[in-house]
Amino acid sequence: MFQRLPFFLKNKYFYTILAFLVWMLFFDKNNFIYQAKLSSNLKDLNNEKEYYLNEIELNNAATNELITNTTTLEKFAREKYLMKRDNEDIYIIVDEDEN
C-alpha cells in the first residue's frame, strides 16, 4: 500500500512544508490574513496622509493670501464673521426648508 502512494507523499519535506504553510496561514500571530489586513490598513493610512498634506498645503496658501492681500482679508471677514463697514447693513437670509 505504501508503494502505491505518489512520490511527493513519501517525502518528509513535503509534510514539513505543508505543516509550515498551515501554521503560517492559520495559527501564527502574524499569519497571512493578518498581514493582508495590515497592508490594506497601511494603504488607507498613506492615502489619508496624502489627503491631509494636500489640505495643509491649501490652507497654508489661503493663510498666505489672507496675510498679504487686504481685499481677500476683508472678504473673508465679511463672509465668515459677518463684519461690516459703518455705513452698511447686513441681512441674513435663513432657508427654513433645510431641516
- Per domain, the residue ranges of the chain are 2-81
**Least-confidence region, from 15-19, 36-40, 43-47, 50-54:** 15-19
Q: Is 76 exposed, middle or buried (0-12, 13-18, 19+ CB in 10 A)?
A: middle
What is the gyration radius of the CA atoms in the chain, in angstroms? 33
- Round the average pLDDT of the chain to a whole number and report it: 86
Q: Is the pLDDT score of 87 beyond 70?
A: yes
Residue that wins the pLDDT comparison between 62 and 29:
62
Cell 497592508, residue?
Answer: 39
What pLDDT is stored for residue 94 in this prediction? 85
Q: How far apart are CA 44 and CA 82, in angstroms?
A: 39
> First CA to last CA across the chain, in angstroms?
79
Percent of the chain with pLDDT over 70: 92
